A = this chain, B = another copy of it.
């Protein structure tokens, strides 16, 4: 089998405990025995067994990262951010895709707490605030969500502020008939509210006919719904979107109706996924620092772990508007 501490101890003529001390740099040890142990370790090629350490110490140096879908272009960067700080701190990360299913989410929490992970990160959870709260009391958890679970460590994207700014941008370009293509998600209408805020800030009345809410956001669905929207209300000159994927669908719908963005329809997205700058016209959008977001939640989780679960905080990430082509600002078009 693998070489253990006992083997090292025998080879170095010391006790197991001494080996343990050397491996973990703890306690005072004479330099000579220290070197002797180190030599034995090197010669035998000893590697500590983290599982055994986990059983004895209760710490596994592993965390779980639970996300809805790694194929959603929002998440890869975030995952990378989480992993970077995790790795730097000696943690490994279990990746768990819930497929946007709350039950799978719960299942994963169960399974991984059984594997004694030191902490769990929940991103874009489909659980409601109460469930999240409950999970947070039972486990060491950091959450990325727009909900407001009580007594938890959470970081949020200020979606309401963000969409107010994007909508205002459109209004300031002269648009008055501004539509919205969003996500219908019970218990979270942050971004929709931001859209309304933006309209109100410019004295534009809200019009339900200008709004389409999708059960889930895909480019195809956004395209279909937007075709419908533009048929029902062709007077719309601009559309704000829940995110970039929706914005892409909106632009495709416009193109299919012979309306060119941004001249015939201004479009703004949200998130600034990699695609946003690769499509034509390039998407004006709200940049969400996804990598940093990942770092933030992992940092948060570290605090929760250090405080043995007794840590609360609600942080917000900063947004930055990226004006590209799809909104028409670059051409300063007068809009009727």
Residues of A within 8 A of B (CB): 47-52, 54-55, 60-62, 65, 69-71, 73, 75-77, 79-80, 83, 92-97, 110-116, 219, 248, 274-275, 278-280
Contacts and interface: CB of A to CB of B under 8 A. Distances in A.
Nearest to A115: B50
A54 B60 CA distance: 12
Contacts of A65: 95
A8 to B, nearest CB: 14
A114 B54 CA distance: 11
Contacts of A92: 94, 96, 111-112, 115
Nearest to A291: B71
16 contacts: A47-B110, A47-B113, A49-B114, A51-B54, A65-B95, A69-B80, A71-B77, A71-B274, A73-B73, A75-B76, A80-B97, A83-B95, A83-B97, A92-B96, A93-B95, A280-B280
Specify how many copies of this chain sit in the oligomer: 2
A225 to B, nearest CB: 17
A114 B47 contact: yes
A97 B92 CA distance: 11
Contact of A279 (B83, B111, B278): B278
A76 B71 contact: yes
Contacts of A54: 51
A195 to B, nearest CB: 25
A49 B80 contact: no
Contacts of A219: 278
A52 B50 contact: no
A116 B50 contact: yes
A202 B73 CA distance: 40
B51 A60 contact: yes
Contacts of A50: 114-116
A314 B95 CA distance: 27
A251 to B, nearest CB: 10
Given A76-B71, A95-B83, A96-B92, A280 B278 contact: no
Contacts of A275: 275, 278
A260 to B, nearest CB: 12
A96 B87 CA distance: 9
Contacts of A61: 115
Contacts of A75: 76
A94 B96 CA distance: 9
Contact of A52 (B49, B55, B71, B110): B55
Contact of A280 (B71, B93, B113, B279): B279
